[in-house]
Structure 1
Amino acid sequence: MPPSPHRPPELTGRAFRGSAVVRAGLLTPAQLRSSAWRQLYPDVYACTTLDVDHAARAQAVARLLLPDAVVIGRSAAVLWGVVLAGAAEPVSCSVSPSCRADALDRVVLTRRRLTAGEVTRRGSTQVTTPLRTALDLCRGRPLDDAVVDLDRFLAHGLVDLASVRSAARGLTGRDCRHVRSVAALADGLAGSPQETRLRLLLARAGLPAPVAQFIVRDGARFVARVDFAWPEHRLALEYDGAWHGGTAQFRADRARLNAVASAGWRTVFATAVDLRRPAGLLDLLRRHMAARTSA
């Protein structure tokens, strides 16, 4: 018969070292195996009332599993409030080159010496600073994916793009060119990952660079904010993810776009299909620009 759940108040809603709480007499080994707890990592347990999201896992790794570890990369972004990693994704952390930790399931270990200026704390957890985190987001992923991550991080205002680009220029090493390329392509203005991907697609197609998050006005009157705009052509481009709300959201979006049309603007919509097969979208944008130029 399985042991009955027993939750001491000191452990309720928390993660902890199993061996430590047994030594302290808070739980017996049998009680630790009850349904009150779930094992996250070797000798690391959490109360089943705790929401074990990626932040909780990162904190468990850096505070309990590897107490000297520093949370880095996308995991660090999560601790800074930018959800770039899901609960099931491995936690990324850095340890000293002399650390003898073995490979761990659902943990990506990097052995790197971080300077004191690159590390801070979020509560009791060591984490890379926003600038160091931003630079790490430029590493290790394909170019567009890294630009998406950096754009999302920059949008939270934790660090500015000029600082990231300046720091990227000072880097050396095998991946410094990739980091600089990512920083050069980011703008921190996208309202969604797909908007970043759409912006990169437009640039590679050779279209004139649009203005992101442009405010359409009718004289001095505010009309709407659009994802992208070419003001000289009075042309707006919207990613179609905005239509995925309920009826009230649909009506609000329709009214907004009617107002944009009344102000003399045309609006083109892009969808996920256009990101995969962009030829039709690009041709439509070019025709709109040509028509306005010749008018």
Structure 2
Amino acid sequence: MPRRPSPLPDILGDVFTVGEAIAAGATLARLRSPDLLVPFPGVRVRSSAAQTPDDPDDDRSPLAREAHTRRFDLLLRARAYAKVMPGPAVFSNVTAAAIWGLPLPISALRGRWNPDQRVHEPRPVELIVPPPHRAPRTAGVAARQRREDVAPRRERDGFVVSSPASTWAQLGGILTMDDLIAAGDALVHVPRTSDGRRGDPASSLASLDDLRAAVRAPRISGLDPLITALPLVRVGCASSAETRLRLAVARAGLPDPTLDFEVRAPTRELVGVTELAFEQWRLLVEYEGGHHRIDRAQWHRDIEKHRTYAELGWTVLRLAARDLYPDAGTAVGLIRDGLRRTGWRG
């Protein structure tokens, strides 16, 4: 029976360099133990840290669950490479988008296809290095040399990363049109406060003006998709599902809904906030992700909220992932029927 590896020094976290481990008292033999992963030379990761956490939206498609796993893996490898990354470099492209928390499809998170093993390899960690510094050549890293104004430096959760707007511009040649719009929506989204009030616009990751400026900056590829997507980015969508829904509604020729709509009682008290509202027809559309199902407190809040909506004369249409994926036709049909029942004659 293999002997259990000795404990690592408590001072070491889940990700550390060989130098940090040696300084803390670990031996080279211990650092070769199979319970440690070696994503890059000179870096170690505890294998326990590589276990993907549960996805709260686990009722989605297998591809969405794979995207959740690959995003976690990419961020873990970025954490590891950050330990040895050259000082002038910044994380960029899909890696930067993952760090900023932007919605990303599985197609963007997969690496190249390996025909021998018939699997997609992990997507490399991506960097931009300003001249005159040279881009590193390391397995598992894709680095390019670009001027610093193409990727202004920011900090996010301990990472040095390209700015949110410049990251969006880097995705122009990578994402499909709808995914590019969803990423833009996520950047300009203004989070609400814990009590449901509208947040400060400055709390968004980027403004529409920031995105316009990023599109005007020098770049190599992806300009045409960015120019097409930019006018379609909207403030008010809190998730890629909401973006998908509003785009499908528009393409179906349905009335233009109000996004992030506040429902108020006659006393002006805030009752709730809904994703899409067709005010003229008193129809509210709510997309409910997995947390609505597994969070008991959220479940009871939803029941009380929807009861109050009905008392105020609103009709509520609740949608789930299966109504939107893999095709939004079901959701559009339900909204069309709901509008007709509430008086729409389109």
Regarding TM over 0.5, the answer is yes
CA distance in 2, matches of 1:287, 1:132: 41
Structure 2 CA distance for partners of 1:127 and 1:288, relative to 1, 3 Å? closer
The structure whose Rg is larger is 1
Structure 2 CA distance for partners of 1:84 and 1:282, relative to 1, 3 Å? closer
SS of residue in 2 equivalent to 1:29: coil
1:152-231 counterparts in 2 under 5 A?
152-155=186-189, 157-169=204-216, 173-221=220-268, 222-231=270-279
1:1-295 counterparts in 2 under 5 A?
4-5=5-6, 7-8=8-9, 12-13=12-13, 15-18=15-18, 20=19, 26-34=25-33, 37-47=36-46, 54-80=74-100, 82=101, 90-95=124-129, 99=134, 101-102=136-137, 104-105=139-140, 107-115=141-149, 118-122=152-156, 125-155=159-189, 157-169=204-216, 173-221=220-268, 222-241=270-289, 243-275=292-324, 276-290=326-340, 292-293=343-344
| Contact 2:150–2:166 (CA under 8 A) maintained in structure 1 | no
Where structure 1 has 5 or more consecutive residues not aligned to the other structure, the ranges are none
| Contact 1:118–1:128 (CA under 8 A) maintained in structure 2 | yes
Opposite residue 135 of structure 1, the aligned amino acid is: A
CA distance in 2, matches of 1:192, 1:124: 24
Shift of 1:115: 2.8
CA distance in 1, matches of 2:223, 2:21: 47
Structure 2 CA distance for partners of 1:137 and 1:219, relative to 1, 3 Å? farther
| Contact 2:128–2:144 (CA under 8 A) maintained in structure 1 | yes
Deviations 1:98-151 (A, max 9, x none): 73644623x343443333871234587532123322333444111222222332
CA distance in 2, matches of 1:259, 1:78: 38
Shift of 1:153: 3.3
Where structure 2 has 5 or more consecutive residues not aligned to the other structure, the ranges are 52-71, 110-121, 192-203
| Contact 1:138–1:183 (CA under 8 A) maintained in structure 2 | no
What TM-score results when the alignment is normalised by the length of structure 1?
A: 0.78
Of stretches 275-284 and 160-169 in structure 1, the one that deviates more from structure 2 is 275-284
Identity fraction in percent = 27
CA distance in 1, matches of 2:306, 2:22: 65
Structure 2 CA distance for partners of 1:203 and 1:31, relative to 1, 3 Å? same
| Contact 1:143–1:178 (CA under 8 A) maintained in structure 2 | yes
Higher RCO (C-alpha 8 Å, min separation 6): 2
